[in-house]
A and B are shown apart, each in its own frame.
Chain A
């Protein structure tokens, strides 16, 4: 009888002792390791503030971190050459065959630019994929859905077996490190300028051992962008952005990426006096009253493919009073039909030319991202 009574206690103790699996092991921090033998291209970071590359004896430590006052986060990953990564806390060996799982399709664009799109094995939001090759891979289960809504699915990512999972810093998921999957915070979208955001391609280049290609890609695009920027006139013309939702009209902060892009195209932000790093809320009628006087109105939104100026006015007749609408200076980027959030990140030079064409600074150009609304 005593044995029967004590059985549950004994069972509980056994479960406690046997049920815990220790995932940790004695691993060494990158900074305390001795020199390794390898020759790699050292990349310099000129624009991006969200990551840095620390070279030590041809190995690289990637550090990603917050850089504005609104958020605090940081992450790191050691990229180790010619030796095992087992002795490191968080490390990978760079490889052209490195298997990636990505939270964002923007990350996939970086991989594609380096010819490494086949390295993708898991993605959040496969239903939004439009690329036919990728869609085929999804159908054949070579690329799997790893998220449910905005949350990571543990079994899905374990099935995908990525070497590294690239994710945003602000999700409240479980930590993939707990299931022995390397992860790295990628926050290219927090950068304030198009070139800073583009420069994240160097991080991807380091991960897959294509530093030279990444550096070349960046140099080619950035040189063209800077050259275009120098040739841009300062119009002294103003612009407003976005569309309202109910009574709220969120304008981007004056020091945001999209406003800086427009500034590089020679336009002045109507709400430049609004300080801050987050979107600024304006009541709709305030924008009707003052923002409607801006020379240009730039809209980045999803609409049907044949969306035109009349349909914009039909959404709210008050738009008829806007100077930009009267003068047909509404510049529109239809995110439903153009890859603004994916490929667009890697082509700021094209975006700049689109804007220069829309504002009459450039002739003979076929716009891809931004067009005047007819």
Chain B
């Protein structure tokens, strides 16, 4: 690992730590810093509500780190696989499948109570996502070209969107608004169990992605070169769909569909560190995505939730993508 890359990685880790800390201490409820540290250390608090507030802030900070990192890694892998710098976690249709599952519950008015309703959203979202994922994995066995798979993924996006449009038509105003608000994305509201579940769905596939380092490095020069150096393309493709699908689906189910992080972060990182080695890129991109996630959440909280999460990520990510497209036109973009 080059020295500059090491420094950049360390800076990212420090920045993430700092922003998590800031996210813990700032908020509408004024809690002394000493009380926050005491609560984090397991001590009792003078105010019985403070531990809940600190826990809430901590949970959303961890969610932001995991979600941002996971989406960025997912985007990086897909950009290499499809040789398209604008590919992102949503291109395979898995996140749309998750949205459809959640949409059926919210727009369909299927509600038990707020407690069980939350579980229902997660289960329905996972069913939707895994259905699309299973379909993709099945179809990928008969497809040789990555572009064909990309087109199938995009068509699945259109299909799920069309079904959601039908649900919109028959939903009442309250359910429509709930689904729209869900679609704005949020790192808020995960319980300890949810957080553990999300962490598993992000960290385990990420660990699996580390086994993709060699194939990803080979795919940089194209699938033919990758095959010639012994990369098993079929298995690699299945593994990529599985890893990116699970990460993207779980994040969508718990946080809503979050845009731009998966597309913009890999591009930004490639501008800063020049190594094509995915052993380093995967780690750095995860950290960069995590940093963007926690930054976005901090901005949302500083605006007292007036700016939704997807607005913040779009404000940051859209200029990056525009810049990438301009660079592409000048043939300087790398995949």
Contacts and interface: CB of A to CB of B under 8 A. Distances in A.
22 contacts: A125-B172, A148-B170, A149-B169, A149-B171, A149-B172, A247-B186, A247-B188, A281-B304, A283-B27, A283-B28, A283-B304, A286-B29, A288-B29, A288-B49, A288-B53, A289-B29, A292-B49, A303-B113, A303-B114, A304-B112, A318-B56, A321-B49
Interface in A111-150: 125, 128, 148-150
Contacts of A286: 28-29
B52 A288 contact: yes
Contact of B189 (A246, A292, A301, A321): A246
B175 to A, nearest CB: 10
Contacts of B57: 285
Kindly name the residue among B48, B176, B181 whose own CB sees the greatest number of chain A CB atoms within 10 A: B48
Kindly name the residue among B27, B29, B170, B301 whose own CB sees the greatest number of chain A CB atoms within 10 A: B29
Contacts of A285: 27-29, 53, 56-57
B113 A283 contact: no
Interface stretch (A56-64, A309-317, A344-352): A309-317
A317 B52 contact: yes
A245 interface: yes
Contacts of A150: 172-173, 176
Nearest to A288: B49
Interface in B261-311: 301, 304-306
Nearest to B169: A149
Interface of A: 125, 128, 148-150, 243, 245-248, 281-286, 288-290, 292, 301-304, 307, 311, 314-315, 317-318, 320-321
Given A125-B172, A246-B186, A289 B53 contact: yes
B53 A246 contact: no
B190 to A, nearest CB: 10
A310 to B, nearest CB: 10
A289 B49 contact: yes
Contacts of B29: 285-286, 288-290
Contacts of A307: 113
Given A288-B53, A321-B52, A315 B305 contact: no
Nearest to A283: B28
A311 B186 CA distance: 24
A317 B109 CA distance: 25
A243 B114 contact: yes
Q: What DSSP secondary structure best describes chain A's contact surface?
A: mixed
B115 interface: yes
Contacts of B111: 302
Contacts of A320: 48
A356 B111 CA distance: 31
Closest 7 CB pairs of A and B: A289-B29, A286-B28, A318-B52, A247-B188, A321-B49, A283-B28, A321-B48
A303 B56 CA distance: 24
Contacts of B188: 246-247, 284
Given A281-B304, A284-B56, A285-B28, 14 more contacts: A149-B176, A150-B172, A245-B178, A245-B181, A246-B181, A247-B189, A281-B306, A283-B27, A283-B305, A285-B57, A286-B28, A286-B29, A311-B113, A318-B53
Interface in B182-199: 186, 188-189
A282 B305 CA distance: 9
B201 interface: no
Contacts of B305: 247-248, 281, 283
Contacts of A125: 172
A314 B115 contact: yes
Contacts of A315: 113-115
B81 interface: no
B260 interface: no
Nearest to A307: B113
A110 B52 CA distance: 45
A290 to B, nearest CB: 8
B206 interface: no
A299 to B, nearest CB: 11
B307 to A, nearest CB: 12
B82 interface: no
A285 to B, nearest CB: 5
A103 B306 CA distance: 32
Contacts of A317: 52
A147 to B, nearest CB: 10
Contacts of A304: 112-113
Nearest to A326: B48
Contacts of B27: 283, 285
Contacts of A321: 48-49, 52
B41 to A, nearest CB: 20
A53 B173 CA distance: 31
Contacts of B112: 304
A253 to B, nearest CB: 17
B296 to A, nearest CB: 14
A320 B52 CA distance: 10
Contacts of B48: 320-321
A307 B114 CA distance: 11
A315 B117 CA distance: 10
A48 B27 CA distance: 41
Contacts of B170: 148-149
Nearest to B171: A149
Contacts of B168: 149
Kindly name the residue among B49, B53, B306 whose own CB sees the greatest number of chain A CB atoms within 10 A: B49
Contacts of B28: 282-283, 285-286, 289
A284 B53 CA distance: 9
A129 B317 CA distance: 46
B267 to A, nearest CB: 30
B67 to A, nearest CB: 14
A290 B50 CA distance: 11
A246 B27 CA distance: 15
B204 to A, nearest CB: 27
A148 B301 CA distance: 37
A301 B111 CA distance: 12
A301 B49 CA distance: 24
Contacts of A128: 172
Nearest to B306: A281
A323 to B, nearest CB: 10
A292 B57 CA distance: 18
Contact of B49 (A282, A302, A318): A318
